Amino acid sequence: MRLSYLILDVFTRIPLKGNALAVVPKADGLMDNEMQAIAREFNLSETVFICKPQNERNSAMLRIFTPHQELPFAGHPTVGAAVSLGLNSRASAIRMEEKVGLVTALFERIDRRTGEARFTLPRLPQRIADLPDRLGIAQALGIDVEDIGCEAFRPAVFSAGVTFHLIPVRDANVLRKVRVNPTAWADVFHYDHSSAYVFTLTPDERENDIAARMFGMGLGEDPGTGSAAAALIGMLAEEALGSGQADYILRQGYEMGRPCRITLQLRNENDVLVHGAIGGEAVVVGEGVLDL
């Protein structure tokens, strides 16, 4: 069996930056365990398998795997798959069936190997729980207790399909000095994948509004995590009271030398979140064939 694949860098238009993604465009016929083995072989944060849709009105069905497990939803594979599909068609709207639901991405071509996609969240983020153990959080992240919190934001658990522990910290200097303490980690971040999304506001940085780092999911640190950014929309919406739309630019991966730029959008009506979207650019950096 020979399978073609692409490598894209997502949340960037610059090759060898952003978050790398493997895309297997014609994955019909692969068994679940074969997809998992292929994702483990690539050993990237995620691999996306593009299959024929169940509904012919849609563009594709996506299966998303980390090296360790399948995910119902993830942002950078969704953006990367939408750009891959968009570059090979004339469509400006890409409809993708994921386990979390139907995802529609608006696609814009930049050049023959680069595009941009933004999609509405198939599931709006929800608050799962508060995280009151500040001492435990500080120990798990290798920071001081007084470093935790940013303006009105407090630690909490949110999910927009994948659960994350959202940890606001005082400023970008604190974000840079985070060091994972494996001994304390699992006891503090015990929901689902034990993943922590540490973030702060960046009023002194001209090109973005928020900075973040993501740790966990068996990946160590991830350069760009769309599903965590989607969860963060829920926390941002709680502070954006009233009605209206807000747009943010989030940076991630800078501390790893893989800078990512993620766009976030939310809209509230009468203090209730009714719309959330994330997006970014992606560039094709390689292609090849798996000979299995």
Residues 105 and 264: beta-carbon distance below 8 Å: no
- Please name which of 67, 57, 68, 98 lies closest in space to residue 80, comparing C-alpha atoms: 98
Greatest Cα pair distance in the chain: 56
Q: Could you say which of 41, 46, 98, 255 is catalytic?
A: 46
CA 238 vs CA 15, 120, 131, 169, 210: distances in Å: 36, 18, 16, 17, 16
Integer Cα distance of 74 and 275 in angstroms: 18
46 is catalytic: yes
Compute, in degrees rounded to 10, the torsion defined by CA atoms 226, 227, 233, 238.
Answer: -160
Residue with tokens 């630019």: 249
Q: Rounded to whole angstroms, how far apart are CA atoms 210 and 252?
A: 9
DSSP state, 131? -
Catalytic positions, please?
Answer: 46
